[in-house]
Amino acid sequence: MKTFSKLLGSAALLGASVAHAGELEVTHWWTSGGEAAAVSEFAKAFDATGNTWVDGAIAGSGGTARPIIISRILGGDPMGATQLNHGRQAEELIEAGLMTDLTELAEAEGWTDLVNPPALLDACTYEGRIYCVPVNIHSWQWIWLSHDAFAQIDTPVPSNWNEFAAAAPKLEEAGIVPLAMGQQGWQQNGAFGVMTIAIAGLDAWRKVVVDKDADAARGPEYAAVFEAAVDARNFASNSNVQDWNLATNMVITGKAGAQIMGDWAQGEFQMAGQVAGEDYTCLPGLGVNEILDTGGDAFYFPVIDDEETKKAQMALASTLISPEVQVAFNLKKGSLPVRGDVDLSAANDCMQKGLDILDAGGIMPSGDMNLTADTQTQIEDLMAEFWTSDMSATDAQERYADIIASAD
């Protein structure tokens, strides 16, 4: 009788798991060619565990996808798992108890020892509990240079920002856009952030972004950044594209000399069959100040009151951070893995540069981790206006300092 009821129980369990055998809807905004190829690595690995990955890609950048994701969670229609940039974006959702606590799994698998740099896991931690799985390290601090464009003007490919700035007029004469720039706030804001690190240096940046010191934002280091940004604005004045991958495509096809963009641009070069060092060059920190931020993507698991789903969520969390998946995913994505113990000999020139910088400890926390979405939006608005108008460097600096002064 006991065996029978056990059998019955397991049959019922089986029935339940067949009904929705760990089906998880996963939302993310990885939709460009290189990104889609990378995310399919996750899907493959997750399906191999006997669960089903239901792809919920949301087209558009994070700015479009995030509101959709958050309103679904708030509206009581949570997905199984979702991509978010870790940091302060999900803070209030965690506070409201809408995100699953992953601490047990993290302790069982020893994430605290695996994840490198540890700041990544810190950004997932809220009041001592872990709520997300970091999956990659993305850094903004790269400039991508087209060998083809510089060959056209018979100039060696620049090795830093100053050389690039010097070569820019020649590019312009040859009918090449010196700097490709998608006309969207987040891209302009990102490029500005990269120039800040390269030109003002880490200390000034830390004072402004981490300590919210408005006086530092009014200081001479930042003045130099805004001056350089005015130059960059002139270099990019003929760049009439919107999306970042279209801007990257201008560099790939030699229509533009360079683009300041995070390492996700790498996936696009790879898709186009280009080889780092031969067809394009990447310079971390604009070749001036080799520091990478450690922002990146992480997966969060909204609380769903269903045992099967919970099990599938844990299985996915564990899959995402497993060594094989980390390697397969990050090679396609062009980002760096979150664990230091994996073999990345297949990585190309640019990723190798990034890994070396990580090893040497040239890292800084990302802006996402220090500024709220509110402050970021205000800065993006300012940047969007700055890059498309003829606002002077001093005006822009003053308004930037005002936003920092009111940041929380």
Partner 1 sequence: MSSSTKARRPSSLFRNLSAKLASIPMVLTALVVFVGGTAWTVVYSFTSSKLLPKANFVGLDQYERLWSTRRWLISIENLAVYGFFSMIFTLVIGFTLAALLDRKIRGEDVFRTIFLYPFALSFVVTGLAWQWILNPDLGVQSVVRGMGWESFTFNPLNDPDIVIYGILIAGLWQGTGLIMCIMLAGLRGIDQEIWKAARVDGIGTVKTYVRIIIPMMRPVFITALVLIASGIIKIYDLVVAQTNGGPGISSEVPAKYVINYMFRAQNLGQGFAASTMMLLSVVIILIPWAYLEFGGKKRG
Which parts of this chain interact with partner 1 (CB under 8 A)? 63, 66-67, 70-71, 74, 89, 91-93, 96, 183-184, 240, 242, 372-374, 376-378, 381-382, 384-389, 399, 406
What would the 3-class secondary structure string for 105-163 be? HHHHHCHHHHECCCHHHHHHEECCEECEEECCEECCCEEEEEHHHHHHCCCCCCCCHHH
CB of 63 or CB of 219, closer to partner 1: 63
Cα 384 to chain centroid, rounded: 20
| CB of residue 96 to partner 1, shortest distance in Å | 6
CB of 62 to partner 1, least distance (A): 9
* Alpha-carbon separation of residue 248 from 45, 243, 331 (angstroms): 29, 9, 18
- Helix, strand or coil, per DSSP, at residue 336: strand
Of the pair 47, 398, the CB lying nearest partner 1 is at 398
Amino acid at 235: F
Q: Pick the closer one to partner 1 by CB: 234 or 372.
A: 372
Least Å distance between CB 386 and partner 1?
8
Looking at beta carbons only, is 112 or 388 nearer to partner 1?
A: 388
- Of 214 and 357, nearer to partner 1 (C-beta) is 214
**Half-sphere exposure for 228 (CA within 13 Å, toward CB):** 22
Work out how close the CB of 401 gets to partner 1 at its nearest, in angstroms, rounded to a whole number.
14
Could you give the angle at which helices 220-235 and 373-388 cross, rounded to 10 degrees?
Answer: 50
Cβ-contact 269, 248 below 8 angstroms: yes
Token digits for 325? 């998946």
Distance CA 51, CA 110 (A): 24
Name the β-bridge partners of 143.
260, 283
Name every residue whose Cβ is closer than 8 Å to that of residue 160 and which is 6 or more positions away in sequence: 283, 286, 287, 288
| Closest distance to partner 1 from the beta carbon of 220 (Å) | 25
Q: How far is the CB of 283 from partner 1 (least distance, A)?
A: 27
- Cβ at position 56, least distance to partner 1 in Å: 18
CA angle 74, 75, 77 (to 5 degrees): 105
Nearer to partner 1 among residue 162 and residue 234 (C-beta) = 234
Nearer to partner 1, 66 or 86 (CB): 66
